[in-house]
Structure 1
Amino acid sequence: MTDRIIYLPLGGAGEIGMNCYVYGYGAPGKERLIVVDLGVAFPDMDTTPGVDIIFADIAWLEKNRDRIEAVFITHAHEDHIGAVGHCFERLGVRIHARAFTANLARQKLAEYGLGEDTVKTCSAWPETTKAGPFTVGFLPISHSIPESSALVIDTPQGRLIHSGDFKLDLNPMVGEAFDPDLFAEVSAKGVKALICDSTNVFSPNPGRSESELGGNITELVASAPQLIVATTFASNVARVRTLAEAGHRAGRSVCLLGRAMRRMVEAAIATGVLTDFPTVVPVEDANQIPRENLMLIVTGSQGERRAASAQLSRGKYNGIELKEGDMFLFSSKTIPGNEKGVAHIMNNFSEKGVDVVDESNGLYHVSGHANRPDLERLHDIVSPQMVIPMHGEHRHLREHVKLAKARGRAGVLAVNGMMIDLSGNTPTVAEWVDAGRTYLDGSVQIGAMDGIVRDRIRMALNGHVLVTVILDEDDEPLGEPWCELMGLPETGRSNASLVEVLEEDMSQFLGRAGAKTLTDDDKIEEGLRRIVRNSAQNEIGKKPEVTVVVSRLS
């Protein structure tokens, strides 16, 4: 069989988040594999109530774990690194990352009792790592988190560049700037495929630099008459530093609130990414500082219920409470799907008389992803034979393919589970792989198709009735059946107690039931469930979920 190069997205292609990509080289079905990123997505109450996090279904990888050479993490955003602890033991393959990302990966793995040797710290290009038939190097590229990297993946049939998340920022404030000369040098001998971030393909103007924000933020902080609180992505260390510096210039003491915020700054300092972060005060001292002399930088820019922003909006957090005349700045963009949570926090603050400032005017936030002109520029610098869009919803990937083809390059719309053969002159679909989702539900991993969350949604939508019936030694009902309601009104159309209506209808059913029914638990359950659902429909216009417990006296 002829050896081939394959690209297989298991997460992150057809959605934004939950990134997990596989590259392979070798004979079909026997390729040696590397994995790029193991990220998470976050649940919502409408579609995944009670779920903690979501990550790619790695059953295909687990089945082929003896073929996996290594895992490479491009950067430390949760949608790229968040699942390393949940997946490591299922894959059993060493993780490779640069120092800042490796530091955070080790913290996640330590929660599972895994030692530091599970992660190898790699230096930036031109250092490379040999992984079976692949040679992989971390190529620095700017993003909204330090030490973000594209991956240079060399195979026996040519060079691939996996862009990771990126923007073309020549002055990102923290971390490496985008270096067009370096990318041109790496691409000079030819690039077979550029696998490329698609997030902002619809944004028509060139991206803006992180360095453009400092003056605006400084002016805003200086104008605040009382306490000022700012939130941003904790991982955006450059923005956190810009906010802290603005507070210091305004003569304010700065306090970081939220574990993620402190952890990111500590990791950046420990790995040398940050060397000049302004002095901060511990939260225990913040209460003693006059409000007009204090600035808080807090977690929860996406409306997370347990984060500092949400808790401050509901009342006190660590003894601190916002009051009328205070100011709250969202120095971040709301990720699609989080609008309700963020709006709820904004309205809570408004009710307190707090002035809320957001990024809608573009003064206090810039995106970490390349806009359409930036994508075109990277295409031109790398000049790949083909472009494979990733990191985007279906509409983003489709538009990115159009963009590539308009500039004379082959492209393919590859969504999760679509294995692409990159060996020829154009990308072709090789086969399909099941690519679902795994939910972390408490401490247990469950499949999206297991029915657990579906049943939870059905109970939330329809309510629940628990029915209990006892039969004696002669298979006769012992007393009346009874029921307990959850999530249902007490009375219905008849103005009678719903419980009494249901119990009366169930009693009539059992009174009419013959021996064949009364001696068969399944028939009793089926009959009582039907009676409850039909009676509830007549009374309250809903058919609840029903659990029937049949007990028999021995």
Structure 2
Amino acid sequence: MARDRLIYLPLGGAGEIGMNAYVYGYGPEGAERLILVDLGIAFPDMDSTPGVDVILPDISWLTDKLDRLEAVFITHAHEDHVGGVGHLSPHLKTPIHARKFTANLARRKLAEKGQDVGLVKTAHPWPAQIEAGPFKVGFLPVSHSIPESAALVIDTPAGRIIHSGDFKIDRTPVVGEPFDDALWAEVARGGVRALVCDSTNVFSKHPGRSEAEVKPNLEPLVKSAKGMFVATTFASNVARLQSLAKAGEAAGRSICLMGRAMRRMTEAAVEEGILTDFPKTISPEDAASVPRENLMLIVTGSQGERRAASAQLSRGKYFGMELKDGDTFLFSSKTIPGNERDVAIIMNNLSELGVDVVTEADGLYHVSGHANRPDLETVHQLVDPQIVIPMHGEHRHLREHAKLADRLGRVGVLAPNGTMVDLAGNQPEVVDHVETGRTYLDGSELVGQFDGVVRDRLRMALNGHAVVAVMVDDDDEVLEDTWVDLRGLPEMDKGGPLADRMEDYLARQLARIDTRTAGDDEKLEDLIIKGVRKVAQDEVGKRPEVTVLITRLAAE
């Protein structure tokens, strides 16, 4: 008789930073009962996903097995862990468990989409556990850059798994719970089969720094500023928001929060009792009447998002506010890899306005929310797992973390997205590879990565687009007047108007075809596309996308 399997399967977040979604399963092969940990998103860029609003994990493997899915567990309220709830929960139709702050934000996401907020269940921290089929799951408090983050203690018939979520070792986090070494040691005392662990900062060789180290540096910076003071950070970093606001208050400035995410996070933190003494804030409308030297704005857009407050302020007025020569703008955040160009654009725009830009480059005004290499080593020693599975990182992070685990005497398993690992036996075993990908929120619709929508958009961006209209009479004779309209291509080439040259070429080609070709839409379209691309390639070195409109005239 075959033994039951204990499977781990990342659908997102392993081999990339963002879009976290991890499946655990227990039971006979092909009939395992399943839970999902996190349901996050990633953000698009104009180079690879133009026009896309949000990128979500492809959960089709899971939706084919909904009768086996017991529950969803969300570790914390960062968008790359909870952002997919509003978009994908209708496809899962299962309870979503989260601690109260995360649950508050998850319900807001469901409410915005007109969905059932009752799907979200508020979980109590460890030692409370939630039964989900063969699993018992507890939320183990950890320190991170957002309140009420949790690792998950997942008890199974095959042993205990600790899924770290995002974490750092911070014993003085300003807001939220400190890292509790004794609690982690207690949870690990009975033995841990596998530690599935954050890998983001595995290459950072110095011990992580506490959020409390940032706070004393902010007040003198704000006090020394002459004009308006503006700061941006991650909206979810509630501790940093409070430190910034307190520094502004101590400098005698009125505080204004700008950006929907900033207001939503602080509202949720106040509602759940996490923020109890946040300084009084004023509205953007009221801020417009406050003298510049007495005003501090805390704004969204630390990663260069085009529509966020930081970008809008760098381009001109926003809610009546305008930055001027002598103002100060602080980036109290680290630029996520891939966002460097967008952030640099904002910084340069601000510089052109005469604004003094301050960054975290000297380490005074930002600390990471993820465990550095020495902190990962500490957690390995506290937990003493048999197996370490790195997650939450690019492939190079996972590989380096697996090497670290091996050096520390554990079995390190490299399992990027789509790798199914059975943890039930004496040694972890890769038992399957699942096709994983991305789902795009494009406007109001979800489209698959390979549906062709974004691919065609990229092709048009790279090569332009030509529309060709042709008429065919009832005798399958092509009429002479073919019409070409171009978008995203030069109007003129070295020989004259490009559209005219295409029309002339097509007229000569179409005059020579037989009625069999003219009577077959597919053959006629193929001939026209080849003709347009030949002219474009010869004249301007491009192969445009081509849309052919064929009108057939019926006899009277």
Bin of the TM-score, shorter chain as denominator length:
over 0.9
| Structure 1 Cα separation of the partners of residues 8 and 216 of structure 2 | 43
Which amino acid in 1 is paired with 2:129?
Answer: T
Per-residue deviation, 1:283: 1.3
| Structure 1 Cα separation of the partners of residues 314 and 527 of structure 2 | 50
Which amino acid in 2 is paired with 1:508?
Answer: R
Equivalent residue of 1:533, what SS? helix
Which amino acid in 2 is paired with 1:230?
Answer: A
| Structure 1 Cα separation of the partners of residues 518 and 29 of structure 2 | 59
Per-residue deviation, 1:474: 1.9
| Structure 2 Cα separation of the partners of residues 25 and 531 of structure 1 | 58
| Structure 1 Cα separation of the partners of residues 435 and 18 of structure 2 | 18
| Contact 1:19-1:80 at 8 Å conserved across structures | yes
Per-residue deviation, 1:435: 1.0
Which string of whole-angstrom CA distances, capped at 9 and with x for unpartnered residues, describes residues 355-388 of structure 1? 1111111110000000000000000001111100
| Structure 2 Cα separation of the partners of residues 430 and 547 of structure 1 | 46
Equivalent residue of 1:285, what SS? helix
| Structure 1 Cα separation of the partners of residues 526 and 7 of structure 2 | 51
| Contact 1:411-1:426 at 8 Å conserved across structures | no
Tell me the number of residue pairs that the alignment of Structure 1 and Structure 2 aligns: 553
Matched, 1:142 2:172: no
Aligned-residue Cα RMSD (Å) equals 0.8
Per-residue deviation, 1:479: 3.7
| Structure 2 Cα separation of the partners of residues 520 and 26 of structure 1 | 56
| TM-score, normalised with respect to structure 1 | 0.99
Matched, 1:264 2:238: no
Equivalent residue of 2:175, what SS? coil
| Structure 1 Cα separation of the partners of residues 210 and 243 of structure 2 | 13
Matched, 1:188 2:199: no
1:503-518 matches, within 5 Å, as 503-518=503-518
Matched, 1:94 2:89: no
Per-residue deviation, 1:502: 0.5
The equivalent of 2:374 in structure 1 is: 373
| Contact 2:13-2:393 at 8 Å conserved across structures | yes
| TM-score, normalised with respect to structure 2 | 0.99
| Contact 1:36-1:74 at 8 Å conserved across structures | yes
| Structure 1 Cα separation of the partners of residues 426 and 230 of structure 2 | 54
Which amino acid in 2 is paired with 1:290?
Answer: P
Per-residue deviation, 1:91: 0.8
1:482-501 matches, within 5 Å, as 482-494=483-495, 496-501=496-501
Q: Structure 2 unaligned segments of length 5 or more: list them.
A: none
The equivalent of 2:403 in structure 1 is: 402
Which amino acid in 1 is paired with 2:19?
Answer: M
| Contact 1:159-1:191 at 8 Å conserved across structures | yes
Matched, 1:541 2:541: yes
The equivalent of 1:2 in structure 2 is: 3
| Structure 1 Cα separation of the partners of residues 375 and 431 of structure 2 | 30
Matched, 1:332 2:333: yes
| Structure 1 Cα separation of the partners of residues 116 and 279 of structure 2 | 32
| Structure 2 Cα separation of the partners of residues 502 and 64 of structure 1 | 53
| Contact 2:518-2:524 at 8 Å conserved across structures | yes
| Structure 1 Cα separation of the partners of residues 120 and 223 of structure 2 | 43
The equivalent of 2:296 in structure 1 is: 295
The equivalent of 1:126 in structure 2 is: 127
Which amino acid in 2 is paired with 1:118?
Answer: L
| Structure 2 Cα separation of the partners of residues 224 and 426 of structure 1 | 59
Per-residue deviation, 1:112: 2.4
Equivalent residue of 1:191, what SS? coil
Equivalent residue of 1:378, what SS? helix
Equivalent residue of 1:340, what SS? helix
The equivalent of 1:502 in structure 2 is: 502
| Contact 1:268-1:274 at 8 Å conserved across structures | yes
| Structure 2 Cα separation of the partners of residues 451 and 114 of structure 1 | 29
| Structure 1 Cα separation of the partners of residues 56 and 260 of structure 2 | 22
Equivalent residue of 1:238, what SS? helix
| Contact 2:480-2:511 at 8 Å conserved across structures | no
1:431-510 matches, within 5 Å, as 431-494=432-495, 496-510=496-510
Identical amino acids, percent of aligned pairs:
66
Which amino acid in 1 is paired with 2:185?
Answer: A
Per-residue deviation, 1:117: 1.5
The equivalent of 1:51 in structure 2 is: 52
Runs of 4+ in structure 1 off by over 6 angstroms are: none
